[in-house]
Amino acid sequence: MMAKFLAETRKQFSKLTVLKEKSFWTTLTGFFLINVILVWLKTYVNYHFNFNLGATGALQQFLLVLNPIPTTIILLGIALYFRGKVAYFLIWLMNLIQSVWLFANILYYREFSDFLSFGILGSGSSTGNNLGKSIAAIIKPTDFLVYLDLVVIAVLLLIKFWPMSKKGLKKRYAFLTTCLGIALMLVDFGIASVDRSDLLTRSFDNNYIVKYLGLNEYAAFNAVQTKKQSDSRKEATAKDLNKVKAFLAQNDIPANASYYGTQKGKNVFMIHLESFQQFLIDYKVNGQEVTPNLNAFYHDQSTLSFDNFYNQVGQGKTSDAEMMQENSLYGLATGSAMTKYGTANTFEAMPAILGQQGYTSAAFHGDVSTFWNRNNTYKSFGYNYFFSKDYYPNADNPNYSVGYGLKDKIFLKDSAQYIEQLPQPFYAKLITVTNHYPYGLDKQNIDFPATETGDSTVDGYVQTAHYLDQSFGELMDYLKKTGLYDNSTFVLYGDHYGISENHKPAIAKLLGKDSVNNNDLANFQKVPFMIHGTGLQGGINHTIGGEIDMMPTLLHLLGVSTDGMTLFGHDLLSAQNQQTVVFRNGDWVTPTYTKYRNEYFDTKSGQQVFMKDNPALQATAKRTQTYADQSLSYSDKVITGDLLRFDKSRLNFTNVNKTSYDYNKKKALKALQQNQQSNPTSLLKQKGGQSTVNDYQTDAPELKNN
């Protein structure tokens, strides 16, 4: 049937044929040139419409025109070494490969404001099946236009409307074509190097690589970068760690004596607020507070609340936030450190440190244990227990889950049965997930109005944030009823942005502005950071800081010395804190100036400033950029080289024995019961074995209807 259809179609088209067999465009050279133009055109168009590359000036605009061409010529030029149908097919195939890469990056960039890396592609299995739901929610029909030319060409070739020449190209001409592609690549790199020196050696921002060199060149650069990371451990020595230690010692600051040890011996609740941004605090929609419970907590007299606290994640997003929170190490420039290095590396993490201070540690997450490789990484961190999806009886009910795991109200209520069994003092991390993109809740759980920005991706964000807030309020009520509240320190933090920079018009409406610039986007990276505890003199703290600073700040409050530790953050309560935030791409914020997307701003006024004739900015930029680059580079070396295996300076810390931990549900719960017998300090034991689970009240409609 298909053969008959093709024959009839060709017959009908034969009268209209405009491509004669002797036409230049039917030759292999003509077909090659058409495909080069098509690949260049769709790449260049998407540079402008789907990526925020920040190209300014005639030179950078020229590079955007030039940089798709060299690798397109080289890749499609492979076909010129062949003849006949094989050559035409190879040209079409190389067009397809580049189109798939372009399409994948369009979708990824729309949500994450970054380009795909081999590290992220290799982490795919560790993020479960839920990533597909997020990607599916952001696809636009126009995205598929990158394949339109391929479909048209394939049809024209199949019906033989486009004749294929049997003649090939002489090998020397094929070779000259390859040389032309390489020469254009060198020209591109030469021009780019003039505009931005040390592009490949000092840049931590993938946008620069794509802007200057191209999307395909970025893939090659990332492949080399990934290979270097994998080789780093083999080449690393103790001398590398010594250099890191010297850098950290040079930038070390003392703890704040008035706060040091004020929370010593208390339970610690580390509450991970998924995708929660600072602007939500005290934010109202139609006169209603989005997060009334968190607002009250934020303004409580015993809560230290930081309003200039930034997320510093890279491609690893949530896993990067955890790496900083648990280790004061940055995430990697590409991929997820937890996925790539969490299993085998040596760490000096919060659970292990506090475990050697007599704490029981537990992490709670209502999704699969393999997400971000947590089932292995948490052993390396020293977590005694990891309560993941298998531990929650409602987790397999699709009505009880949304996106990335159990709905927060159900998750937190079901976690109470394990919280009450933990021997005290304990360190418990609760990872909420409902406020995760694509911010979808069923109607029975929505009792808050959506915003009206006109962006469907954005408008549901306040509704899931409100749901998270209600969940948090229910947890606090339970802890107050049981008595755990007064004997605990609470640390709340947002892990990363919820609304990406690719929604600028919606962001402007949320912020009450006509438009947003790069300074607004820099401030939009702020997330909450709150520490609540009895005896703390609360209030709004304006110190500039970021997620890398969480660990040293908390350890000092708990009375744990950080001397000799390999920490890249600083105590936010120290009077000597320099208040420098380093973003994963090498941008930064200081009390005087902010660098974001290659533009500079006065941090206080928000006005853009320029290097020319500005000695103060020049000095700050030079000093801060050096510090930022060194911090990121040294942190990367600690992780990729597994340098902490060489650390013998911490005599009061014993490296984690990963084989000591088993997160199998049956074994772990048995171990938890035995631990309560040998250390009868759990809430359950204090209540004489009477469970407090019934004290946990929730209005989750799913449980009410049960």
Could you give the residue numbers annotated as active site?
Answer: 318
Confirm if 295 and 289 have CB atoms less than 8 A apart: yes
Element housing 662 (H / E)? none
**Cis (ω within 30 of 0) for the bond into 438?**
yes
Report how far residue 300's alpha carbon sits from residue 538's, in angstroms, rounded to the nearest whole number: 7
- How far apart are alpha carbons 591 and 231 in whole angstroms? 38
Q: Which two tokens stand for residue 552?
A: 């040293």
CA distance 704 to 678: 37
Angle at 507 (CA atoms; ends 504, 513), nearest 5 degrees: 100
Q: How far is CA 685 from the centre of its chain?
A: 40
Q: Map residue 267 onto helix, strand or coil.
A: strand
Rg over CA atoms, the chain: 28
- Determine the Cα–Cα distance for residues 661 and 622; give it in Å rounded to an integer: 46
Per-residue HEC secondary structure of 75-117 comes to HHHHHHHCCHHHHHHHHHHHHHHHHHHHHHHHHHHHHHCCCCC
Contact 333, 128 (CB under 8 A): no
Ordered DSSP codes for 505-518:
HHHHHHTT-S---H
Phi and psi at 235, nearest 5°, equal -90, -10
Contact residues for 30 (Cβ-Cβ < 8 A; gap 6+): 23, 24
CA nearest neighbour of 500 among 107, 129, 55: 107
Backbone angles phi, psi at 376, to 5 degrees: -100, -45
Residue 368 exposure: Cα atoms within 13 Å on the Cβ side: 12
The interaxial angle of helices 28-49 and 57-66, nearest 10 deg, is: 140
Q: Bridge partners of 284?
A: 289
Distance CA 17, CA 683 (A): 83
Question: Residue 117 and residue 587: Cα distance in Å, rounded?
Answer: 20
| Helix-, strand-, coil-residue percentages of the chain, each rounded to 5 | 55, 10, 35
Q: CB under 8 Å, gap of 24 or more: what pairs does 547-550 form?
A: 547/309, 547/310, 547/311, 547/312, 547/313, 547/321, 547/324, 547/325, 547/493, 547/495, 548/312, 548/324, 548/328, 548/329, 548/330, 548/582, 549/328, 550/324, 550/325, 550/328, 550/491, 550/493
Element (H, E) at 649: none
Q: Distances from the Cα of 459 to the Cαs of 70, 450, 506, 679, in angstroms? A: 41, 5, 9, 49
- CA nearest neighbour of 374 among 405, 401, 398, 403: 405
HEC readout, 18-53: CCCCCCHHHCHHHHHHHHHHHHHHHHHHHHHHCCCC
**Per-position DSSP letters for 160-204, written without gaps between them:** TSS---S----HHHHHHHHHHHHHHHHHHHHHHHHHSTTHHHH--
Q: Report yes or no: 75 and 15 within 8 Å, Cβ to Cβ.
A: no
Q: What is the DSSP pairing of strand 303-310 with strand 539-546?
A: parallel
- H-run or E-run covering 537: none
